[in-house]
Amino acid sequence: MQRYVAALDQGTTSTRCILFDSSGRLVSVSQAEHQQHYPRPGWVEHDAAEIWRNVTRVVPEAVERAGATPEQVVAIGIANQRETTVLWDRATGRPVVPAVVWQDTRTAGLVQELAGDEGPDRFRDRCGLPLAPYFAGPRLTWLLDHTRGLRERAERGEVLFGTMETWLIWNLTGGPDGGVHVTDVTNASRTMLMGIDTLEWDPTLLDAMGVPAAMLPQIRSSSEVYGQTRTVLPGTPIAAALGDQQAALFGQTCFAPGEAKCTYGTGSFLLLNTGTETVRSGNGLLTTVGYRIGQEPARYALEGSIAITGSLVQWFRDGLGLISTAAEIETLAMTVQDNGGCYIVPAFAGLFAPHWRSEARGVIVGLTSYVTRGHLARAVLEAVAWQTREVVDAMDADSGLRLTSLRVDGGMTADHLLMQTVADVLDVPVVRPMVRETVSLGAAYAAGLAVGYWPDLEGLRHNWHRAGQWLPAMDEQRRAQEYDNWSRAVARTLDWVRPGPSEQD
């Protein structure tokens, strides 16, 4: 009887369940989108209850589409949008506030207060992260401070906190009736509340942010059995949880120090495996946990997080109406030879790595009457590539290594012009594997390892096969000139928003 591992990929815009077989081949998929809520400028929210309802639909649907029975699924692994913050009632299982999404910037004023005279690196030695609106801990503090009675309830243990994998595991294992309240080290490392070296909730950080320990989940490894499902696929072990970008690192089989991947989705995220040692960044990158298998030592990574890449194409489509489908941007960009002197810096929610400037806002510069929508389309794709270049330069400086190739995945890798542009601006080969859905594959791999479905990491490496490769073809002088132009455009995004009461309340 054929057996499968199910990956539950809870992303920013949708939730998917994918079944994989022992060769890492995608067997079936079911997907459901959820609504994005923008109640104020800079605010982004999800309905966690809607996401849970979608999970109860897509998991059995994926099994059915594979022509399988629930008994053929040996384990479930979860990958999730990471810093999105969920608070719910322990007794009823209902969310007590909307989930605050990783893109949300409402905590900009709060993180400035927390930074104080010591600046954004106040907690970096403890948690590996700079103070920024990106992370879950300040969001939790903000919600406790701005929701009547919530802090008192949290201190009594009536309200639970988690990122999306915690919320889903709790519901899958029984919810109010004995649900398991856990998170894994990769997601915990994105809260600013976990000691990056101890892998435990840090009392100093909890005290500084005013977070009651009673509401926090237990921190566990990325690959181990947390419990069995009591709904959807009853009795199936839930055997892995990783933040989506760490899951992609795992799915790309970047198991050795110096191996790197970039996932191109709503945002884009470049991770470099640094082994069992933490590397503190001096160049605007994040020190994060890459993964932990069972009781083995954790593997760490340097990460560069780019907020706006795929969502820039969505804005070009939906906000400006210049294309009708996302795929059309490549066709439109190919109608011109270059960007016509136009550059787009999509600092819609501030600049992420390596700048970390929450007050920045997007700009389009170099506009002349010569510029057409084809030039704008090319500028959109180039913005994705140049943001990648900024992160790679920072990574090279921090690690002492020079990137020799980049493994890529995610929906945007279907755009051949974009991938060629990335190779050109990085001056290294860009390589895409057969399975593009490496976030889901990584969650499946970690779950399968925990239950013995796959024996070891070397076996997973044998499953990796190259599907596409792009080699650099840009003249060095042009590359340098274009990068200089890009850098000057970035400088024009800075110091746009000045925090006032509306930014903090």
Q: SS3 string of 167-197?
A: HHHHHHCCCCCCCCCEEEHHHHCCCCCECCC
Render the burial of 203-224: b for 16+ CB within 10 Å, e for the rest. Answer: eebbebbebbeebbbebbbbbb
pLDDT at 505: 43
pLDDT at 502: 45
Longest dimension (CA), the chain: 65
Q: Rounded to whole angstroms, how far apart are CA atoms 323 and 340?
A: 19
Residue 60 in any domain: the answer is yes
**458: number of Cβ within 10 Å:** 10
Q: Rounded to whole angstroms, how far apart are CA atoms 210 and 157?
A: 15
pLDDT at 500: 59
Residue 143 in any domain: the answer is yes
Residue 130 in any domain: the answer is yes
Q: Are 298 and 343 in contact (CB under 8 A)?
A: no
Provide the residue range defining the domain that includes 215: 4-252
User: Among all chains, which residue has been given the structure tokens 């009675």?
Assistant: 149
Take residue 203 and report the two structure tokens written for it.
């009392």
Residue 129 in any domain: the answer is yes
**Domain tally for the chain?**
1
Q: What 3-state class would DSSP assign to 354? A: coil
pLDDT at 465: 87
Q: What 3-state class would DSSP assign to 154? A: helix
Residue 207 in any domain: the answer is yes
pLDDT at 50: 97
Residue 228 in any domain: the answer is yes
What are 261's strand-pairing partners? 271, 407
Q: Point out the residues of the chain with pLDDT beneath 50.
A: 502-505
CB within 8 A of 149, min separation 6: which ones? Answer: none
Residue 65 in any domain: the answer is yes
Residue 181 in any domain: the answer is yes
CATH assignment at residue 24: 3.30.420.40
Q: Rounded to whole angstroms, how far apart are CA atoms 273 and 256?
A: 6
Question: Which residue in 254, 360, 356, 268 sits closest to 310, CA to CA?
Answer: 268
What are 76's strand-pairing partners? 6, 238
